[in-house]
Amino acid sequence: MRRLVKLLGIALVCVMSIAPLRAQADVTGTWDLTVRTQQGTATPSVTFVQSGESLSGTYHGRMGDSKVEGTVRGNDIQFTVTLRFQDQAHVISYSGTVTGDAMKGTVQFGDRGSGTWSGQRRQ
Protein backbone atom coordinates (compact mmCIF):
# COMPACT_ATOMS: atom_id res chain seq x y z
CA MET A 1 0.00 0.00 0.00
CA ARG A 2 2.80 2.42 0.89
CA ARG A 3 4.45 1.66 -2.41
CA LEU A 4 1.23 2.43 -4.30
CA VAL A 5 0.82 5.75 -2.48
CA LYS A 6 4.44 6.62 -3.24
CA LEU A 7 4.00 5.80 -6.95
CA LEU A 8 0.79 7.85 -7.11
CA GLY A 9 2.62 10.77 -5.48
CA ILE A 10 5.41 10.58 -8.03
CA ALA A 11 2.89 10.38 -10.87
CA LEU A 12 1.04 13.41 -9.50
CA VAL A 13 4.28 15.44 -9.35
CA CYS A 14 5.03 14.50 -12.97
CA VAL A 15 1.56 15.54 -14.11
CA MET A 16 1.77 18.81 -12.16
CA SER A 17 5.07 19.69 -13.83
CA ILE A 18 3.45 19.29 -17.26
CA ALA A 19 0.20 21.08 -16.32
CA PRO A 20 1.39 24.68 -16.84
CA LEU A 21 1.06 24.33 -20.61
CA ARG A 22 -0.47 27.58 -21.85
CA ALA A 23 -3.31 27.93 -24.27
CA GLN A 24 -2.38 29.32 -27.67
CA ALA A 25 -3.12 33.06 -28.00
CA ASP A 26 -5.15 34.05 -31.06
CA VAL A 27 -4.04 37.42 -32.47
CA THR A 28 -6.01 37.32 -35.72
CA GLY A 29 -7.39 40.79 -36.46
CA THR A 30 -6.24 44.41 -36.47
CA TRP A 31 -4.14 45.83 -33.65
CA ASP A 32 -3.28 49.45 -32.89
CA LEU A 33 0.32 49.73 -31.72
CA THR A 34 2.21 52.39 -29.80
CA VAL A 35 5.98 52.26 -30.38
CA ARG A 36 8.23 54.27 -28.06
CA THR A 37 11.88 55.06 -28.80
CA GLN A 38 14.34 57.78 -27.80
CA GLN A 39 13.35 59.57 -31.02
CA GLY A 40 9.65 59.68 -30.11
CA THR A 41 6.42 57.75 -30.41
CA ALA A 42 4.81 56.15 -33.47
CA THR A 43 1.33 54.66 -33.82
CA PRO A 44 1.28 52.06 -36.61
CA SER A 45 -1.31 49.33 -36.89
CA VAL A 46 -0.94 45.72 -37.94
CA THR A 47 -3.44 43.24 -39.30
CA PHE A 48 -2.53 39.66 -38.37
CA VAL A 49 -3.65 36.41 -39.95
CA GLN A 50 -2.79 33.46 -37.72
CA SER A 51 -2.63 29.81 -38.74
CA GLY A 52 -1.53 27.68 -35.78
CA GLU A 53 1.74 29.24 -34.62
CA SER A 54 2.40 31.06 -37.91
CA LEU A 55 1.64 34.75 -38.43
CA SER A 56 1.34 36.74 -41.61
CA GLY A 57 -0.34 40.03 -42.36
CA THR A 58 0.15 43.69 -43.14
CA TYR A 59 1.88 46.47 -41.18
CA HIS A 60 0.42 49.94 -41.76
CA GLY A 61 2.81 52.76 -40.84
CA ARG A 62 4.15 56.18 -41.84
CA MET A 63 6.20 54.65 -44.65
CA GLY A 64 3.27 52.72 -46.13
CA ASP A 65 2.20 49.11 -45.90
CA SER A 66 4.61 46.20 -45.42
CA LYS A 67 4.40 42.44 -45.09
CA VAL A 68 4.47 40.90 -41.59
CA GLU A 69 5.83 37.44 -40.76
CA GLY A 70 6.10 35.86 -37.33
CA THR A 71 5.04 33.30 -34.77
CA VAL A 72 2.85 32.94 -31.70
CA ARG A 73 3.79 30.24 -29.21
CA GLY A 74 1.53 30.15 -26.18
CA ASN A 75 1.35 33.83 -25.20
CA ASP A 76 4.72 34.74 -26.73
CA ILE A 77 4.66 36.69 -29.99
CA GLN A 78 7.47 37.54 -32.41
CA PHE A 79 7.11 39.24 -35.76
CA THR A 80 9.22 41.14 -38.25
CA VAL A 81 8.48 43.91 -40.70
CA THR A 82 10.79 44.95 -43.53
CA LEU A 83 10.42 48.63 -44.40
CA ARG A 84 11.95 50.22 -47.47
CA PHE A 85 13.44 53.67 -46.96
CA GLN A 86 15.68 55.43 -49.47
CA ASP A 87 16.00 52.20 -51.48
CA GLN A 88 17.25 50.27 -48.44
CA ALA A 89 15.53 47.49 -46.53
CA HIS A 90 15.23 47.98 -42.77
CA VAL A 91 14.13 44.99 -40.68
CA ILE A 92 12.16 45.76 -37.52
CA SER A 93 11.85 42.88 -35.04
CA TYR A 94 9.09 42.83 -32.43
CA SER A 95 8.89 40.39 -29.51
CA GLY A 96 6.53 40.32 -26.58
CA THR A 97 3.60 38.70 -24.84
CA VAL A 98 -0.14 38.61 -25.50
CA THR A 99 -2.73 38.91 -22.73
CA GLY A 100 -6.26 38.78 -24.11
CA ASP A 101 -6.82 41.88 -26.26
CA ALA A 102 -3.49 43.49 -25.29
CA MET A 103 0.15 42.83 -26.09
CA LYS A 104 3.47 44.46 -25.23
CA GLY A 105 7.18 43.95 -25.59
CA THR A 106 10.40 45.22 -27.10
CA VAL A 107 11.28 46.24 -30.64
CA GLN A 108 14.68 46.21 -32.35
CA PHE A 109 15.44 48.45 -35.35
CA GLY A 110 18.34 46.43 -36.72
CA ASP A 111 21.55 48.10 -35.52
CA ARG A 112 19.81 51.49 -35.25
CA GLY A 113 18.37 51.14 -31.77
CA SER A 114 15.51 49.67 -29.82
CA GLY A 115 12.37 50.59 -27.98
CA THR A 116 9.22 49.30 -26.38
CA TRP A 117 5.79 48.72 -27.83
CA SER A 118 2.27 47.94 -26.75
CA GLY A 119 -0.81 47.01 -28.72
CA GLN A 120 -4.55 46.89 -28.32
CA ARG A 121 -6.88 44.77 -30.46
CA ARG A 122 -9.16 47.02 -32.52
CA GLN A 123 -12.81 46.33 -31.74
Task: Give pLDDT tens digits for 87-121.
Answer: 888 999 999 999 999 999 999 998 889 999 999 99
**Residue 18 confidence (pLDDT) above 80:** no
Query: What pLDDT digit, counting tens, does each position of 30-78 carry?
Result: 999 999 999 999 999 999 999 999 999 999 998 899 999 999 999 999 9
CB atoms within 10 A of CB 120: 14
Q: Is 47 exposed, middle or buried (0-12, 13-18, 19+ CB in 10 A)?
A: middle
Helix (H, G, I), strand (E, B) or coil at 31: strand
Domain residue spans of the chain: 22-121
Tell me the average pLDDT of the chain.
Answer: 87
pTM, full prediction: 0.80
Domain 22-121 belongs to what topology?
Lipocalin (2.40.128)
Determine the Cα–Cα distance for residues 108 and 86; give it in Å rounded to an integer. 19
CB atoms within 10 A of CB 97: 13
Determine the Cα–Cα distance for residues 103 and 109; give it in Å rounded to an integer. 19
For the chain, what percent of residues have pLDDT higher than 90? 70
End-to-end, the C-alpha distance of the chain in Å comes to 58
